[in-house]
Amino acid sequence: MHSDPDWAKTAQQFQQTLGDGWTRAWADAIKPIQGLDLGVPVGGMATAPQVTFSATKLQALQKQYLEESAALWNQSMDAAVIAKDKRFSAKAWTENPLTAYNAASYLLTSRTLMGLADAVEADDKTRSRIQFAVEQWMAASAPSNYLAMNAEAQKKLIDTQGESLAKGLKNLMHDMQQGHVSMTDESLFEVGRNVATTEGAVVFENELFQLIEYKPLTAKVYAKPFLLVPPCINKYYILDLQPENSLIRYAVEQGNRTFVVSWRNPDKSMGDKTWDNYIEDAAIKAIAVTQEITGAKTINALGFCVGGTILSTAVAVLAARGEKPVASLTLLTTLLDFTDTGIIDIFVDEAMVAFREKQMGKGGLLPGGDLSSTFSFLRPNDLVWNYVVGNYLKGETPPPFDLLYWNSDSTNLPGPFYAWYLRNTYLENKLVQPGKATVCGEKIDLRKIDIPAYIYGSREDHIVPIGGAYASTQHLPGQKRFVMGASGHIAGVINPPAKKKRSHWISDATSFPAKAEDWIAGAQEHAGSWWTDWSAWLKSHAGKQVAAPTQYGNADYKVIEPAPGRYVKARAQ
């Protein structure tokens, strides 16, 4: 039990410190979008645009608001309506009429303001920016986020005689020191000990990446080796969390001689690295080293998210040079056509990109925490305030979760790389315009990637919308297979068959309509993971089976260190 008799004073200090923590959280969240006009004041950097509202929508909104306000005032608001929102699902919220009214009033105001944002008559980007800003404002102002109004946290404070408050303050101090809100108990995880544990060895490294070769788990392997290129904005072990949910281990178990790119977490010495460096000195180099170690003329390759964009660009550069070392291409939640980028589109315009180019286009680093905070605020209630309430107001320790540990292990990005990527993809969408983007001295033309491609998108992905992932089918000329999985950007991908969770959609049609929704209308749902379908497809392009190697690397590429290697263990500073 907490024995401090003056816990009211401690509560006051806690609230003040918590307010400082929130201020820091907001500051961290908007760092990646400095210079962006969201259409509403954000950190004092933007001005409100001139907008009008739909008279019809305003009239309907006013009528709805008056009716629901009357119901709320007359205390006829159904408690079940409040409890449907998980922020107010605890009994403490509905047992007290005052707190129930407070929650219901907030929800009514939130619905009304979001409806008001929807009634804005403006271009799509301006409307989306206003909706996003209102969503952030309403998420931050929820009564559940404040100890003085959170009935559940207050009850726990009383029940624990102040112990929850003391633990919450301790949690807050810890998170402020580490620089981010804890989503899981990070002390329970260690890279190489209980995540990223698939057995292997680093067989090559340069200043950008290490190449890991994995120990075969079958007596024979397919002749064509398999190379994975993960996103450089995260660490590769999202593909190798635990043995039971490791896509890397699954690929090895299926008889693939497997290699993976482990990106270096950039420090100041890498502040001048460009998109060309990542293509020539990383992706193309990894393909060449994999060929040289295995003796294979061609390999199969997989790219995930930005890793897929990097890999596809590398294959296009090689095609422009008359080289075709990649026999098949797998793209997981990857954007090649940046027409549909979902919510991220609100952050990108000429002013924002020009600001980033001026800030770091010639050198410098984008701190990993900035990017991580921005992605978290795309889903503020689930990925920010949920943990603020649990960690600080209730004094809880979040449960162990390997995926959330990985999510908190952020990586920096070289400024020139980031600036090029923003302008040439998100802003100007050059990769799908033949000859418009020049990379490593070659004009990019995706039509030259005439190899089989397996393209995967997640139905609820908020980072790579399903339409954006599907759009690759319109630009890659080779034989294609598109599969849609349930859930989001990460959970949809990391869905091992043994779990028997979720589902996926496949169409046997050989043609691909222009719009994703038309493909979805003709697709059939299948229970469970898409991994088995992909594995069968990959095997059809993997060649004959040969005896598995008994050692890593070869005479020219010797073992440097055991997997997972040093690079993946470096934390962003």
DSSP character string of 498-564: GG--SEEEE---SS--SSHHHHHHT-EEEES-SHHHHHHHHHTTS--EEEPPSSSS-SSS---EETT
Question: Does pTM surpass 0.85?
Answer: yes
- Predicted pLDDT of residue 238: 97
Decide: 535 and 300 in contact? Cβ < 8 Å: no
- Predicted pLDDT of residue 526: 97
- Predicted pLDDT of residue 438: 98
- Predicted pLDDT of residue 1: 38
Summarize the confidence of residues 187-207 as an average pLDDT: 97
Of 353, 275, 266, give the one whose Cα is nearest residue 310: 275
Q: Does the active-site annotation cover 232?
A: no
Check pLDDT > 50 for residue 520: yes
- Predicted pLDDT of residue 74: 62
Check pLDDT > 50 for residue 14: no
pLDDT band at 207 (very low <50, low <70, confident <90, very high): very high
Percent of the chain past pLDDT 70, that is, above it, reads 90
Catalytic residue among 29, 169, 195, 305: 305
Of 367, 369, 368, 377, give the one whose Cα is nearest residue 347: 377
Which three-class secondary structure string do you get for 398-422?
Answer: CCCCHHHHHHHCCCCEEHHHHHHHH
- Predicted pLDDT of residue 3: 40
Which listed CATH number (3.30.450.20, 3.30.460.80, 3.30.1390.10, 3.40.50.1820) goes with 200-342+432-569?
3.40.50.1820
pLDDT digits (tens, 9 = 90+) for 499-512: 999 999 999 888 99
pLDDT digits (tens, 9 = 90+) for 391-422: 999 999 999 999 999 999 999 999 999 999 99
Of 88, 64, 68, 84, give the one whose Cα is nearest residue 76: 68
Q: Which two tokens stand for residue 177?
A: 């020191």
Nearest-angstrom CA–CA distance, 191 and 408: 13
Q: Would you kindly state where each structural domain of the chain is located, as residue ranges?
A: 7-156, 200-342+432-569
- Predicted pLDDT of residue 277: 98
- Predicted pLDDT of residue 77: 58
pLDDT band at 466 (very low <50, low <70, confident <90, very high): very high
Check pLDDT > 60 for residue 446: yes
Nearest-angstrom CA–CA distance, 203 and 565: 10
Region at 388 (left for phi over 0; alpha for psi -120 to 50; beta for the rest): alpha
Phi and psi angles of residue 173, each rounded to the nearest 5 degrees, phi first: -60, -40
- Predicted pLDDT of residue 46: 44
pLDDT band at 98 (very low <50, low <70, confident <90, very high): confident
Cβ contacts of 258 within 8 Å, gap of 6 or more: 213, 214, 225, 226, 227, 228, 248, 251, 252
Check pLDDT > 50 for residue 224: yes
- Predicted pLDDT of residue 42: 34
Check pLDDT > 80 for residue 110: yes
Check pLDDT > 90 for residue 180: no
Q: Which two tokens stand for residue 563?
A: 């997997």
pLDDT band at 41 (very low <50, low <70, confident <90, very high): very low
Least confident span in 37-51, 94-108, 329-343, 457-471: 37-51
**What one-character DSSP code corresponds to residue 493?**
T
Check pLDDT > 60 for residue 15: no
Nearest-angstrom CA–CA distance, 233 and 163: 39
- Predicted pLDDT of residue 62: 79
Check pLDDT > 90 for residue 60: no
Long-range contacts of the stretch 530-534 (C-beta < 8 A, 24+) = 530/456, 530/483, 530/485, 530/495, 530/504, 531/247, 531/250, 531/495, 531/496, 531/497, 532/497, 533/483, 533/504, 533/506, 534/330, 534/454, 534/456, 534/483
Q: What is the mean pLDDT of the chain?
A: 89
- Predicted pLDDT of residue 43: 34
- Predicted pLDDT of residue 75: 59
- Predicted pLDDT of residue 94: 86
Check pLDDT > 50 for residue 32: no
Decide: 431 and 313 in contact? Cβ < 8 Å: yes
- Predicted pLDDT of residue 196: 97
- Predicted pLDDT of residue 55: 82
